[in-house]
């Protein structure tokens, strides 16, 4: 567990008031990733939860950019919802 300092983002989900099971990654300065690499498809209900997580992170750290890190199994409605909420998507295999 990293302690908060000015040189890196806090990646402990408890710092943002999130579940300890939420996986966060520091992607760059002022840029966090929510890792959701699962075998099943990410549907719109999952995307809505991701939006809620991103809003919680932004309420604690305004101006932070949030990216979803996921597999290619994501439905088009989820992609559209995340784009509307200005959450970028990084696909991994």
Give pLDDT, residue 1: 44
Q: What is the mean pLDDT of residues 46-74?
A: 96
H or E, element range at 37: none
**What are 26's strand-pairing partners?**
32
In a domain? residue 63:
yes
**pTM (predicted TM-score):** 0.87
Question: Torsions phi, psi of 68, nearest 5?
Answer: -90, 125
Confirm whether 49 is domain-assigned: yes
Residue-wise pLDDT tens digits, 10-57: 899 999 999 999 999 999 999 999 999 988 999 999 999 999 999 999
Range of the domain at 58: 13-91
Q: How many domains does the chain have?
A: 1
Read off the CATH number of the domain in which 72 is found. 3.40.1350.10
């Amino acid at each position: 567990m990293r302690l908060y300092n000015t040189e890196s983002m806090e990646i402990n989900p408890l710092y943002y008031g999130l579940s300890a099971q939420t996986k966060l990654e520091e992607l760059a300065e002022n840029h966090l990733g929510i890792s959701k690499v699962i075998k099943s498809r990410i549907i719109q209900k999952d995307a809505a939860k991701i939006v809620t997580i991103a809003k919680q992170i932004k309420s604690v750290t305004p101006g932070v950019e949030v990216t979803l890190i996921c597999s290619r199994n994501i439905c088009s409605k989820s992609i559209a919802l995340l784009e509307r909420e200005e959450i970028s998507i990084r696909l991994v295999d």
